[in-house]
């Protein structure tokens, strides 16, 4: 199991404009390998192509200037509308192709008339209507002199045939590129185009599959795995099994072997400094302990000050009452007037203070005698009018007694609630002082539980209301009931209690954990949460390493694509149609090309699969060059240099295009004709 650090995709280096065109390349044939993934262009007298860039065109808006190939920066991809001229490997969007050719000619230093003969690669069985797009661009837009069209895979084979047995007289060509895979049969130096097979599977489909798998397994990290980065890790970490896919799949099912074969991509993350974290934790704990001690001290001081004030007040009131007991009536009345109270209020306040200070009960006093004087007198002493007034006073007194009883009941409930709150605050303070860390953590947990409970109830309530409103609308559509019933909600006493409890908890948090609303997440980490580790920011590539490229061999089983796999296509459409002798000769020369052929172990896997079809100990040779992506350009360059004297025999001039139309094409080994051409 290897760990690989995540590295951002670097933007390609922008190509420089060639300054030597007029002096060195003015009449040299120009070779353009116009691939659906990459475009490669250069002159036949050079050893390597001058330009290699992605076949993509980006625009900020439809009316803005196009940005092509290596000029597209990785950081700009998200804001650009990027388009390819190709659908699979067939040209379908001429404006984008025109932008690519503009870019290509500009970077090669061609700023005026194009004097160079051009070789342009195209797909196998390219529709004449699609070739029409390219011919119109080349002859009518750029006014070129002549062009040769040829299949990229066959140019690749042409460039490497000298390394094959008998110079590639009989061979099987497998070209696996970004979008498609082609299989060609060469018999006696001729390509049997009627046996050519294409399957719409290539490296691009594998990249899309790997990206979707990673997005599903690691949704939090999907932003890292762009199309370009996923393609990069596919090329670096995925591989074909050398032999049986099933056998290696069983190895991944074994925990130990699976871990050994897996690769890990370490994504960027902020490492935790545990020493500093512990210091911060201890500092916070100490601060909370100090806060608890300070709160306790302040509460004790407040209680003492309150008691002292009550004692002082009681002493003042008792001194006023003593004035009356000592017959100082005038001074007594003056003092009552200064205190803005009557004698009854004085006595009640003294009793209240004694009860608070010493726990003594107040004595019940009869009230209302002066207010209803007739009630204490017998009826025999009253006149008829006084009897009526007495009856009225009795009614008023009963009403007043009822109000006073209700008031006393409310006061008692308020007093009990206040005592309950004071007792709760005292208990909470004691719990905080005992263990500040655990106490604050419990407060956060209790608050989270209430929020979760309210959220669940709200979802359920919404569902119920929607269902009820739906039923009511169906009823109201046939009756004349008022719409005011829609959305009515019953009072939920439990929800009210939860809201009160939530308010209490937040009040306690404000008191014991100042700033909690802005630091909840960090506190959760400090007090019992999980720390983010390197493992949380790792993407493990296990069985995906072999399943991703295996799509080429088993497309239906892995991605459900109704296409033949590579070996099924080779067997059913080519080998099964050859005689045993021809099949033996063809399988002695198997040539691999295309960008997808660079995937690790591709040559070994094809060798193993073909071996299963051949007789034991039969000769078998599978050849692949070191850089299959550039095979087509190098082969086209070799073909041009070998046939430069017969250029007019194979090329289409502007006059021939104008006379014979866009579907006119000349035969050569790598062309797309209806007949085969023999190589020399």
Most confident listed range (309-313, 473-477, 487-491, 543-547): 543-547
Three-state DSSP at 113 gives: coil
Query: Residue 566: its pLDDT value, please?
Result: 94
Query: Residue 626: its pLDDT value, please?
Result: 80
Per the DSSP assignment, residues forming a β-bridge with 174 are 183, 592
Q: Helices (H), strands (E): how many in the chain?
A: 22, 20
Three-state DSSP at 34 gives: strand
Which tokens belong to 278?
């512990």
Query: Residue 338: its pLDDT value, please?
Result: 85
- Overall average pLDDT of the 395-419 stretch: 82
The answer, yes or no, to whether residue 234 has pLDDT greater than 90, is yes
For residue range 443-463, what is the model confidence (pLDDT) as tens digits?
888 888 888 887 787 777 777
For residue range 623-668, what is the model confidence (pLDDT) as tens digits?
998 888 899 999 999 999 999 999 999 999 999 999 998 888 899 9
Lowest model confidence (mean pLDDT) among 159-173, 373-387, 533-547: 373-387
Say if residues 172 and 183 touch (Cβ distance below 8 Å): yes
Query: Residue 155: its pLDDT value, please?
Result: 95
CA distance 189 to 95: 38
- Overall average pLDDT of the 347-357 stretch: 82
For residue range 70-118, what is the model confidence (pLDDT) as tens digits?
888 888 888 889 999 999 889 999 999 999 999 999 999 998 889 999 9
How would DSSP label each residue in 164-194?
A: SGGGTSSEEEEEE-SS-EEEEEEETTEE-GG
Query: Residue 385: its pLDDT value, please?
Result: 81
Helices (H), 360-492: 384-434, 436-476
CA distance 276 to 56: 49
Higher confidence at residue 597 or residue 522?
A: 597
Per the DSSP assignment, residues forming a β-bridge with 593 are 175
The answer, yes or no, to whether residue 30 has pLDDT greater than 90, is yes
Instruction: Give the angle 264-265-268 at the CA atoms, nearest 5°.
Output: 140
CA distance 642 to 534: 58
Q: Around 422, how many Cα atoms within 13 Å sit in the side-chain half-sphere?
A: 8
Say if residues 323 and 332 touch (Cβ distance below 8 Å): yes
Could you give phi then psi for residue 38, rounded to 5 degrees?
Answer: -130, 150
Query: Residue 369: its pLDDT value, please?
Result: 46
CA distance 609 to 242: 9
In the numeric block, the tokens 């074994």 are attached to 254
Q: What is the mean pLDDT of the chain?
A: 84
Query: Residue 677: its pLDDT value, please?
Result: 44
CATH topology (fold) of 22-158+630-660: Nucleotidyltransferase; domain 5 (3.30.420)
Query: Residue 361: its pLDDT value, please?
Result: 47
Residues 6+ apart with CB under 8 A from 373: none
Sorted by where each begins, the domain ranges of the chain are 22-158+630-660
Say if residues 646 and 639 touch (Cβ distance below 8 Å): no
Confidence of residue 484 (pLDDT cuts 50, 70, 90): very low
The answer, yes or no, to whether residue 396 has pLDDT greater than 90, is no
CA distance 558 to 209: 9
Query: Residue 247: its pLDDT value, please?
Result: 92
Confidence of residue 402 (pLDDT cuts 50, 70, 90): confident
For residue range 306-325, what is the model confidence (pLDDT) as tens digits?
889 888 888 888 888 888 87
Report residue 513 CA to chain centroid gap: 34
Query: Residue 103: its pLDDT value, please?
Result: 94
The answer, yes or no, to whether residue 373 has pLDDT greater than 50, is yes
Q: Around 355, how many Cα atoms within 13 Å sit in the side-chain half-sphere?
A: 9
Percent of the chain with pLDDT over 70: 90
CA distance 454 to 499: 9
Which tokens belong to 223?
């932003």
Which tokens belong to 320?
């006023």
Query: Residue 571: its pLDDT value, please?
Result: 87
The answer, yes or no, to whether residue 525 has pLDDT greater than 80, is no
Query: Residue 520: its pLDDT value, please?
Result: 40
Residues 6+ apart with CB under 8 A from 71: 14, 103
The answer, yes or no, to whether residue 465 has pLDDT greater than 70, is no
Lowest model confidence (mean pLDDT) among 24-33, 197-206, 291-300: 291-300
Which tokens belong to 101?
């050719």
Confidence of residue 397 (pLDDT cuts 50, 70, 90): confident
- Overall average pLDDT of the 347-364 stretch: 70
Which tokens belong to 498?
């939860």
């Amino acid at each position: 199991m290897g760990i690989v650090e995540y590295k951002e995709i670097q933007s390609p280096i922008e190509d420089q404009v060639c300054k030597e065109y007029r002096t060195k390349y003015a009449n040299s044939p120009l070779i353009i390998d116009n691939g659906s993934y990459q475009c490669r262009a250069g002159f036949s007298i050079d050893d390597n192509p001058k330009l290699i860039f992605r076949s993509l065109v980006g625009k900020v808006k439809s009316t803005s200037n196009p940005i092509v190939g290596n000029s597209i920066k990785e950081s700009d991809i998200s804001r650009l509308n990027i388009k390819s001229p190709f659908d699979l490997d067939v040209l379908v969007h001429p404006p984008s192709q025109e932008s690519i050719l503009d870019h290509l000619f500009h970077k090669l230093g061609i700023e005026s008339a194009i004097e160079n003969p051009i070789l342009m690669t195209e797909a196998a069985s390219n529709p004449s209507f699609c070739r029409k797009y390219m011919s119109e661009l080349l002859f009518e837009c750029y006014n070129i002199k002549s062009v040769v069209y040829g299949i990229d895979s066959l140019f690749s084979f042409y460039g490497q045939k000298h390394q094959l047995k008998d110079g590639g007289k009989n061979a099987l060509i497998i070209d696996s590129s970004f979008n498609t895979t082609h299989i060609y049969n060469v018999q006696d130096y001729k390509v049997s185009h009627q046996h050519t097979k294409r399957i719409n599977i290539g490296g691009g489909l594998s990249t899309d599959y790997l990206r979707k798998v990673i997005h599903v397994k690691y949704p939090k990290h999907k932003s890292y795995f762009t199309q370009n980065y996923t393609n990069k890790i596919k090329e670096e970490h995925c591989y074909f099994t050398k032999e049986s896919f099933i056998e290696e799949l069983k190895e991944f099912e074994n925990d130990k072997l699976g871990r050994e074969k897996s690769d890990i991509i370490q994504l960027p993350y902020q490492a935790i400094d545990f020493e500093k974290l512990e210091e911060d934790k201890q500092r916070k704990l100490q601060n909370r302990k100090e806060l608890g001690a300070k709160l306790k001290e302040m509460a004790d001081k407040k209680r003492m000050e309150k008691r002292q004030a009550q004692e002082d007040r009681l002493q003042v009131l008792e001194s006023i009452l003593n004035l009356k007991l000592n017959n100082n009536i005038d001074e007594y009345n003056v003092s009552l007037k200064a205190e803005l109270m009557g004698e009854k209020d004085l006595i009640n306040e003294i009793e209240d203070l004694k009860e608070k200070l010493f726990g003594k009960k107040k004595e019940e006093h009869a009230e209302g005698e002066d207010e209803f004087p007739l009630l204490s007198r017998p009826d025999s002493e009253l006149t008829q009018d006084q009897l009526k007034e007495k009856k009225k006073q009795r009614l008023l007194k009963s009403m007043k007694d009822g109000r006073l009883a209700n008031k006393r009941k409310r006061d008692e409930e308020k007093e009990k609630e206040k005592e309950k709150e004071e007792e709760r605050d005292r208990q909470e303070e004691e719990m905080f002082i005992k263990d500040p860390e655990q106490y604050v953590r419990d407060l956060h947990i209790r608050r989270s539980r209430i929020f979760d409970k309210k959220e669940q109830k709200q979802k359920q309530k919404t569902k119920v209301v929607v269902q009820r409103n739906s039923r009511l609308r169906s009823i109201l559509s046939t009756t004349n009931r008022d719409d005011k019933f829609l959305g009515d909600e019953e009072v939920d006493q439990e929800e009210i209690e939860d809201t009160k409890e939530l308010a209490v908890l937040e009040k306690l948090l404000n008191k014991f954990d100042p700033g909690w609303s802005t630091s909840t997440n960090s506190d959760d980490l400090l007090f019992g949460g999980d720390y983010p580790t390197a493992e949380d920011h790792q993407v493990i590539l296990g069985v995906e390493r072999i399943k991703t490229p295996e799509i080429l061999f088993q497309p239906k089983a892995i991605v459900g694509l109704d296409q033949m796999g590579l070996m099924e296509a080779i067997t059913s459409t080519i080998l099964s149609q050859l005689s045993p002798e021809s099949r033996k000769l063809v399988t002695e020369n198997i040539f691999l090309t295309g960008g997808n052929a660079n995937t690790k172990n591709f040559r070994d896997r094809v060798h193993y699969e073909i071996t299963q079809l051949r007789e034991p100990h039969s000769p078998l040779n599978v050849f692949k060059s070191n850089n299959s992506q550039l095979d087509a350009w190098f082969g086209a360059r070799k073909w041009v240099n070998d046939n430069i004297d017969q250029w007019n025999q194979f090329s289409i001039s502007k006059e021939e295009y104008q006379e014979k139309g866009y579907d006119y094409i000349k035969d050569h080994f790598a062309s797309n004709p209806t007949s085969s051409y023999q190589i020399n």
